[in-house]
Structure 1
Amino acid sequence: MTGLRVTSLTTSYGRGGRVLDDLGLTVPEGELAAVLGPSGCGKTTLLRVIAGFVRPDAGEISIGGRTVCGPGVQLPPERRGIGIMAQEGALFPHLSVVRNVAFGLRPLDRGERRARADEMLELVGLGGYGDRMPHELSGGQQQRVALARALAPRPALVLLDEPFNALDSGLRSGLRSDVRSALRAAGATALLVTHDQEEALSAADRVAVIRAGRVVQSGTPQELYERPADPWVASFVGAAVLLPAVAGPGAAHATTALGRIPLARRADSGGGADGTVVLRPEQLRLTDPSDAAASASGQVTEVRYHGHDALVLVGLPGLDQPVTVRTAGPLAVRPGDTTGLLVTGGAGFHRDSTDRTDGTDGTDGTDG
């Protein structure tokens, strides 16, 4: 059974144009999907429409095989079987932790509510915290309580609206992992809205990238990173090296400023020969400029050291922007040095087209 299916969803706000434009999205039951996109692309509107807070102009939404929105159907939020984990937790400050978690369990008797709330607190690692008040908890603990509250009624779908934004980077990583584990343990279908690429790739089973109100690519994190649909997706989902290139129909290689680069898949037969090669920074290796195997040589313009690795920017003749190399281990180069570059693995190739690839959508940016 499909956990969530969104079909041909269209939504507009007055004269501001379409925020969601014939959007489609499917999340299998029990999976966590991340919706990723720049500010103004329609992420927050999608979440609000699924939750039932905004009525769409057209389209259909089904949750757990049940249509909650469509022609002649518009169920209110409380009848959709959805749990929501908001950005700030949104706990009731006058209620204890256990009463916050049990708030949506009114149909059950008092003992059953307490037992279910305690079970959910154990699931999120807060067993024994039930009698505390929200102000006695850290930000991360408050978010765990919010997740427990969202899961307590056994919803068909959990919506997570950028729930880690208010936390510091060190806490975010650990909490992301814990939330993911809790969702899996509960067997919940979940949709995470985020603008953080690392968060989407590390936490989700699948990622849907939205641009201008449409899903431009959906797949596993590995599929999106290794086979992006176009150069814009490539540069949005992780760091990318984009190079002007020439490759004839069916070619296995492309000619670039880095020399002749092998392609991961043969170039398609449509369109002209001009296009863009997509590489990831870890596919480039620094080597001695006299190395016969080097694809090209250039001058190091900047080194960004991160401890576990470093990004080395190298300027090449004929390119306006330096290329980025991700390297591990002791650094052997400094700004001003000349270095050779070696390409490993196959590159993606995308032929030039008239489609917009800059990610802008003509909206006013009020929706996240």
Structure 2
Amino acid sequence: MTELRIEGLTKAYGPDATVLDGLDLTVPGGSLAAVLGPSGCGKTTLLRVIAGFLRADAGTVTVGDRLLAGPGTHVPPERRRIGIVPQEGALFPHLSVARNVAFGVTDRSARRRRTEEMLELVGLAGYGDRMPHELSGGQQQRVALARALAPEPALVLLDEPFNALDSALRAGVRADVRAALRTIGATAVLVTHDQQEALSTADLVAVVRDGRIAQCGPPHEVYARPADPWVARFVGDAVLLSAHAANGAGPADRGAGGAPTATTGLGTVELRAPAAAPEGTVILRPEQLLLTEPGEGVCGATVTDVRYYGHDAMITVVVDGVDGPVDVRVAGHATLRPGDRAGVRVTGRAGFHPSGGSGA
């Protein structure tokens, strides 16, 4: 299994257009990493530099023990042993499925065998004689993956490959692609702006902001322990509350479980770690809030909106004494309606981001 290592990667398109600004990223061998970020953050440029389509201004790209980009080094794309799955598949329309898959296999004696193996791997055994226009969008993406894997690349790059698929098809194709990559132990990088896609598909999520990695870790860690409020908002729905942390050592500064606490508009909240400063922002997820009957011991709130998604619902409330709306996620169907009164309380522990500092 081949590791990808990127150190200090810099790329600019002009004196005032720095896109990658000293980016560092390591993807362990056999892992699928999702590079997640908003439009213009440098995701596509990163992919093009790794592939060799663009020259880096500074920094290094190493795949396994091969330096592909660095001071005085730029290995051409065709010599990098990197497979690419572009948006919408980009199959050769005049070639059959089998000939598309075999395109990059240079060993003629192995082409037929390798093509059949890859089509079986992606669930398209027997489709070799078909033409691309005879396939569905999802099938075309599977063929594109088979074509990328056929030459046995050291690394696979996936450039937002599910964008053109409808939502009902997207989840199934993602699962098939993930399974195929895992079956052969491929190291892969998926570029996406879709938070759910990154969290549900990848082993590692790297959030890019302004040309650098803002946070990198397993999906559950990035979601549950965002590095700062920006990451929290970008990765998923977030509830951000101004807070004052209790930094004393006495029992009054600890929650029932012995955790440090902070005072917020939703009451006293237990923190995952001691706060680095007294003033800051508590970071919660909407599922950490519970709606109850109004009464003592809970914060009073008025429901302003209800959005039903089938598996859950998001209820927006205005909490007495809290500036701005607060979102609460509930399982299944919501019985509350706009205008109803409810109580709100916090469950679990929260992250804490000091004002002007790093998060806890």
- TM-score when scaled to structure 2? 0.94
Match in the other structure for 1:358: none
* Structure 1: gaps (5+ residues): 356-368
Contact 1:32-1:189 at 8 Å conserved across structures: yes
* Structure 2: gaps (5+ residues): 254-259
Shift of 1:321: 1.9
Counterpart CA distance in 1 for 2:333 and 2:53 is 53
Counterpart CA distance in 2 for 1:194 and 1:215 is 14
Match in the other structure for 2:79: 79
Number of equivalent positions: 348
Query: What does 1:6-17 correspond to in 2, within 5 Å?
Result: 6-17=6-17
Alignment partner for residue 334 of structure 1, among 318, 323, 337? Answer: 337
Contact 1:2-1:26 at 8 Å conserved across structures: no
Contact 1:58-1:70 at 8 Å conserved across structures: yes
Match in the other structure for 1:205: 203
Match in the other structure for 2:281: 276
SS of residue matched to 1:200: helix
Shift of 1:309: 1.0
Shift of 1:299: 0.4
| Residue identity opposite 1:176 in structure 2 | R
Match in the other structure for 1:22: 22
Match in the other structure for 1:102: 102
Match in the other structure for 1:89: 89
Match in the other structure for 1:46: 46
CA deviation profile, 1:257-277 (whole Å, cap 9, x unmatched): 101111122212xx4x22100
Match in the other structure for 2:173: 175
Percent identity for Structure 1 against Structure 2: 66
Question: Is 1:264 matched with 2:272?
Answer: yes
SS of residue matched to 1:180: helix
Match in the other structure for 1:346: 349
Contact 2:301-2:318 at 8 Å conserved across structures: yes
SS of residue matched to 1:314: strand
Contact 2:302-2:340 at 8 Å conserved across structures: yes
SS of residue matched to 2:3: strand
Counterpart CA distance in 2 for 1:35 and 1:317 is 39
Counterpart CA distance in 1 for 2:146 and 2:169 is 18
Contact 2:246-2:263 at 8 Å conserved across structures: no
Match in the other structure for 2:312: 309
Shift of 1:2: 5.1
| Residue identity opposite 1:140 in structure 2 | G
SS of residue matched to 1:310: strand
Match in the other structure for 2:325: 322
| Residue identity opposite 1:132 in structure 2 | R
| Residue identity opposite 2:19 in structure 1 | V
| Residue identity opposite 2:300 in structure 1 | S
Moved more, 251-260 or 227-236: 251-260
Alignment partner for residue 155 of structure 1, among 140, 153, 156? Answer: 153
Shift of 1:331: 2.4
Counterpart CA distance in 2 for 1:113 and 1:143 is 20
Counterpart CA distance in 2 for 1:239 and 1:221 is 15
Relative distance call for 1:321 and 1:16 in structure 2 (3 A) is same
Counterpart CA distance in 1 for 2:266 and 2:24 is 38
Shift of 1:353: 0.5
| Residue identity opposite 1:222 in structure 2 | H
Contact 2:2-2:187 at 8 Å conserved across structures: no
Contact 2:10-2:23 at 8 Å conserved across structures: yes
| Residue identity opposite 1:289 in structure 2 | P
Contact 1:160-1:190 at 8 Å conserved across structures: yes
| Residue identity opposite 1:121 in structure 2 | L
Relative distance call for 1:329 and 1:100 in structure 2 (3 A) is closer
| Residue identity opposite 2:98 in structure 1 | V
SS of residue matched to 1:216: strand
Question: Is 1:285 matched with 2:287?
Answer: no
Contact 2:310-2:333 at 8 Å conserved across structures: no
Counterpart CA distance in 2 for 1:73 and 1:221 is 34
Contact 2:313-2:333 at 8 Å conserved across structures: no
Where in structure 1 do 4 or more consecutive aligned residues deviate above 6 Å? none
Contact 1:264-1:345 at 8 Å conserved across structures: no
Counterpart CA distance in 1 for 2:141 and 2:78 is 21
Counterpart CA distance in 2 for 1:154 and 1:2 is 12
Alignment partner for residue 228 of structure 2, among 217, 225, 230? Answer: 230
Shift of 1:293: 3.7
CA deviation profile, 1:266-315 (whole Å, cap 9, x unmatched): 212xx4x221000111000110111x342x11100101111211101010
Counterpart CA distance in 2 for 1:70 and 1:260 is 51
Contact 2:2-2:155 at 8 Å conserved across structures: no
RMSD: 1.3
Moved more, 254-263 or 141-150: 254-263
Question: Is 1:299 matched with 2:302?
Answer: yes
Contact 2:308-2:333 at 8 Å conserved across structures: no
Shift of 1:354: 7.2
